[in-house]
Amino acid sequence: AQKITQTQPGMFVQEKEAVTLDCTYDTSDPSYGLFWYKQPSSGEMIFLIYQGSYDQQNATEGRYSLNFQKARKSANLVISASQLGDSAMYFCAMRAPPGNQFYFGTGTSLTVIP
Amino acid sequence: SAVISQKPSRDICQRGTSLTIQCQVDSQVTMMFWYRQQPGQSLTLIATANQGSEATYESGFVIDKFPISRPNLTFSTLTVSNMSPEDSSIYLCSVRGQGIVDEQYFGPGTRLTVT
């Protein structure tokens, strides 16, 4: 069965510092995709970054990078130079067969402190 | 990327009533997805709506409670029927991207409170 685990219900980070949000996954399928989404208090889901299971390099998108450790089945999100606007819920998700359905973790609430 | 709009953005409803949520996409898509996010929880897939066929419901969700319409390739509705306070959630419409990454795009959500 597919499973996504986020063990950090809440995290705090000082403005301008870097923070790592943890995500582990479980799938027996060799082909899958890993995603991170940000959900501000407004409720919308904002796509941040993607890592494919066959990608050799860690994905990066601006201040976001994904620390992909395939053997450990982890896909941690690193946010560099945190900003106050980064305060939100962050969800890790996996797309995997069958049906390529998306499976979401329980989320991590990030608070950036001025 | 896809631009998705939802109506209403929020509503407060009385128990026993029904609410229909509309989802409009700015491009034609084969599949549209409806998710529920209960307070403080993650997203749970309710059903997948394909144009021209019956929606496919996930375990724990039934058509009588969450009827879905998909009249064309850019529009879908989700009805929450005979509501109870446990139905208070954010309901999100979603479509899949068409590119290599194939990410999910989400609408802004409908925040429903049932009293």
Q: What is the pLDDT of residue A11?
A: 96
Q: Which of A44, A100, A105 sits opposite B108 (nearest CB)?
A: A44
How is A21-70 classified by DSSP, letter by letter? E--EEE-S-S--EEEEEEE-TT---EEEEEEETT-SS--EETTEEEEEET
Which chain B residue is nearest to residue A99, measuring alpha carbons? B48
Tokens read off for A78: 């690193």
Q: What is the pLDDT of residue A37?
A: 96
CA distance A67 to A73: 11
Q: What is the pLDDT of residue B52?
A: 81
For residues B89 and A43, the answer to whether their CB atoms sit within 8 Å is no
Task: Tell me the nearest-neighbour CA distance from B12 into chain A, angstroms.
Answer: 16
Going A88 to B113 to B26 to B73, the CA torsion angle's sign is positive
For residues A64 and A48, the answer to whether their CB atoms sit within 8 Å is yes
Q: Evaluate if residue B57 carries a pLDDT over 80.
A: yes
**Residue B102 backbone class (left: φ over 0; alpha: ψ -120 to 50; beta: rest):** left
Question: Which of B32, B31, B25, B33 lies closest to B7, judged by CA?
Answer: B25
Q: What is the pLDDT of residue A2?
A: 62
Structure confidence by residue, pLDDT tens digits, B11-42? 999 999 999 999 999 999 988 999 999 988 88
**B69 against B100, higher pLDDT:** B69
Q: Which residues of chain A are modeled with pLDDT < 70?
A: 1-2
Q: What is the pLDDT of residue B91?
A: 97
CA distance B50 to B27: 15
| Parallel, antiparallel or unpaired: strands B110-114 and B10-13 | parallel
Q: What is the pLDDT of residue A96?
A: 83
Structure confidence by residue, pLDDT tens digits, A34-53? 999 999 998 889 999 999 99
Residues B108, A102: C-beta atoms closer than 8 Å: no
B52-71 mean pLDDT:
93
